[in-house]
Amino acid sequence: MPTLEPHQARDIAESFGVDAARYDRARPRYPRELLDAIIAASPGRDVLDVGIGTGILTRQLRAAGCAVTGVEPDARMAEFARRDGTPVEVSTFETWDPAGRTFDAVVAGQTWHWVDPVAGAAKAAEVLRPGGQLALFWNAAQPPAELNSEFIEVYRRIIPDSPVLRAAALPATAPYATMCDTASDGIYRAARFAEPRRHTYEWDRAYTRDEWLEMSATTGMATRLAPDVLTQLLDGLGAAIDAAGGALICRYTTVALTTTRRD
């Protein structure tokens, strides 16, 4: 069976709403420095959030003075994001009808790999005003090395075919560098953008044991596990954290790709 590209794996892409409240609590936010740079480079503050999810990124943008519209394929996530009054339309981005609307920025936090890179770039060019920003970014997590080795052994024991194991020997940012390459190719093929630029932002977040387990349960791999297998996984990760003192500090690298729509 051929391997699906991420945007073709709709069962994973639309699985995160299984527990939207947990997702909203657990997922990390985005560096203010990155968001300030996107806003400063945009011609205005009308923003389209692609794959808005529960509205994590949108709330940060609204706090910075932006007006945000969301597009989200998972109706459960969209319903959660609307709780603070944000308009959210349920659709994949590629098939979404903008109805003539245009925006100063199109952003995607942790979601663009679920979008067809060519069709997505073409749609972004369609809805961006001249000079508008397309900004795509992902958070790459790197737990402390010794604890991460224990985590890998837990995955190896509970889920021996986990993609976590295939990525274990690579730097934490490697999968996201590949996503940036794919996104860049789509942007070039759309032929309506300036040269894409890459940026990285490093920062730390402290986690309690329970906070890390909540976050671990929201990954695309975990959201589709049978309940008993997920329980075994979380119990194993929790035991590893307990043995390391009951908490951890995770280093995050936010990997970003930005470009400007040409006239």
Q: What share of the chain is helix, strand, coil (3-state, %, to 5)?
A: 45, 25, 30
What angle, rounded to 10 degrees, do the helices at 56-63 and 32-41 form? 60
The pLDDT assigned to 207 comes to: 98
How confident is the model over 243-255, as pLDDT tens digits? 999 999 999 999 9
pLDDT at 1 over 50: no
Q: Tell me the percentage of the chain whose pLDDT exceeds 70.
A: 95
In CATH, what number does 6-141+170-203+252-261 get? 3.40.50.150
Of 58, 63, 59, 56, residue with least CA distance to 24: 56
Give the mean pLDDT of 33-43.
Answer: 98
Contact 256, 200 (CB under 8 A): yes
The pLDDT assigned to 2 comes to: 44
Q: Confidence band (pLDDT; 50, 70, 90) for 5?
A: low
The number of beta carbons lying within 10 Å of the beta carbon of residue 96 is 17
How confident is the model over 201-234, as pLDDT tens digits? 999 999 999 999 999 999 988 888 999 999 999 9
CA dihedral 124, 201, 181, 145 (to 10 degrees): -140
Q: pTM above the 0.75 mark?
A: yes
The pLDDT assigned to 8 comes to: 57
Q: Confidence band (pLDDT; 50, 70, 90) for 7?
A: low
Q: What are the two backbone dihedrals, phi and then psi, of residue 71, each rounded to the nearest 5 degrees?
A: -125, 130
Give the mean pLDDT of 83-108.
Answer: 97
